[in-house]
Structure 1
């Protein structure tokens, strides 16, 4: 006879998340995820004199900026445990309901299907980087999640009910959070942003830590954001984002030089050079107190 176990014995949950959403600083600064809602089947690459990143897709494509929400949620659970002085391990068990509540997703059947697809991409995407984590480097590829499972229970009529999500975080990210402690909080409105705005916020948050401004050439910024289309498309997107000025906590300015004359024998004028300047918005002044001197 199979004994019916109470929920607490079936699943030792790490959720619900009680603190803020956090992210590891390297994952904020560099383009590890595709800026797409749909499957991105091409490899991604980023290289400077100091940093190299190579990302290979699985059969379902490269993990996207929306799949990254799960990684941020796990990092937040881990950071919260560390702050409380609790032991941490690489295995995390949480409810899809809490994940959806934190990220602002609805609780429809479609969201659960997207969750399963996202977990598969996070487990299948292969990453290679020379960025060290926790004082150690790695050669070869790793995946964001070395294990990812949806745990179900059966109702009396035989229907499956999702009870918990169980994942194992990769060694690289686990070491980075545990040892480096370069974990930064995210703005509450982050999950309401589009993919490019999310990356702009992350780059700004990881760079302008002490309040200094970020001034960067547009082409270099395109690569750091991870924008895969042409520079002209990125310039148009940046004009719109700068005009709307909706990136939380930061003000973005696009500074463009006048168009240059085209080369001999060509038509039109060549777009001038451009740079991006990002500054942190001033903290809002405190509300005046109603308690005057004679109150």
Structure 2
């Protein structure tokens, strides 16, 4: 007897549908710690980074290096995957399907035609940028180069202007292993309000190193290396002073000490405020002796 049911074409799903709203932004620890993303648009120079036994080599494709703003696609996908795992969903896969509109709104972008085109450019840079690294995820080290995005494709286009409506992004195994093992941290929603690439990178490092501590101190020279900045140290220092004076970095107040050339990040709130007051009193006492 013939079945009354048609075939379920999507029973064996190999993608994850990003359909959870009001998700807290999440980032993976490894890319917060090490400079995988360029700070300057149009950068086509290969980069080598080495620190405390970790090496990272980043190679651009024809679209140039993926930037810290391109990383928003990573953050969007990671956030959806983590929230789904927290809800015990069983369909979590490294291929994520989502609507372009939701991504643009979530990451504080405009939703005009140019924004859709820039999103496609970002996906091309992510796919063409390759990484070689000694960073391990889930006790596994990638031996060959891998792209920041394995692949992407347009699932649906608008019939009126051919604008992409839904896309499908396959994350690299390296990143998916990190997410699966919950090596992630929650970011402030105001992260997406930061315009400057350096400010975003500095926030990532402060969030990673400060964690639940009241403060984190780092020399300008070390921070210059860890951000992956290609600016001269003098210009880099000027930009950090400007950031400290603005007091606009989410979650943290920033203080720069010209004598030691050290930047200190204080968590906003009670413990951070007490730590900053304590440091100010110590500095005052030293100067009066």
TM-score by length of 1: 0.82
Counterpart of 1:74?
77
How far apart are residue 283 of structure 1 and its match? Answer: 5.1
Counterpart of 1:58?
61
The number of aligned residues is 257
What runs of 5+ residues in structure 2 fail to find an aligned partner?
A: 1-9, 272-289
What secondary structure is seen at the aligned counterpart in 1 of 2:201? helix
Q: How many angstroms apart in 2 are the aligned matches of 1:95 and 1:206?
A: 29
1:97 and 2:97 correspond: no
Within 5 Å, give how 1:22-33 maps onto structure 2: 22-33=26-37
Counterpart of 1:274?
261
Bigger Cα Rg: 1
Please list every run of at least 4 consecutive aligned residues from structure 1 whose deviation after the TM superposition is greater than 4 angstroms: none
How far apart are residue 151 of structure 1 and its match? Answer: 2.2
Counterpart of 1:265?
none
Superimposed CA distance per residue, residues 105-126 of structure 1 (whole angstroms, 9 cap, x where no aligned partner): 0111100110111000101100
Superimposed CA distance per residue, residues 123-181 of structure 1 (whole angstroms, 9 cap, x where no aligned partner): 110011111001111122111111111223463x7x535231101110000001102x1
Superimposed CA distance per residue, residues 7-48 of structure 1 (whole angstroms, 9 cap, x where no aligned partner): x99x98323533111111111122111112x31111122111
Q: How many angstroms apart in 2 are the aligned matches of 1:278 and 1:29?
A: 16
Contact 1:16–1:98 (CA under 8 A) maintained in structure 2? no
Q: How many angstroms apart in 1 are the aligned matches of 2:232 and 2:238?
A: 10
Structure in which a larger fraction of residues adopt helix: 2
Counterpart of 2:180?
178
Counterpart of 2:277?
none
Q: How many angstroms apart in 2 are the aligned matches of 1:68 and 1:48?
A: 22
What runs of 5+ residues in structure 1 fail to find an aligned partner?
A: 1-7, 258-272, 285-295
Q: How many angstroms apart in 2 are the aligned matches of 1:160 and 1:229?
A: 39
Residues 1:63 and 1:202: Cα distance change in structure 2 (over 3 Å): same
Q: How many angstroms apart in 1 are the aligned matches of 2:257 and 2:163?
A: 53
TM-score by length of 2: 0.84
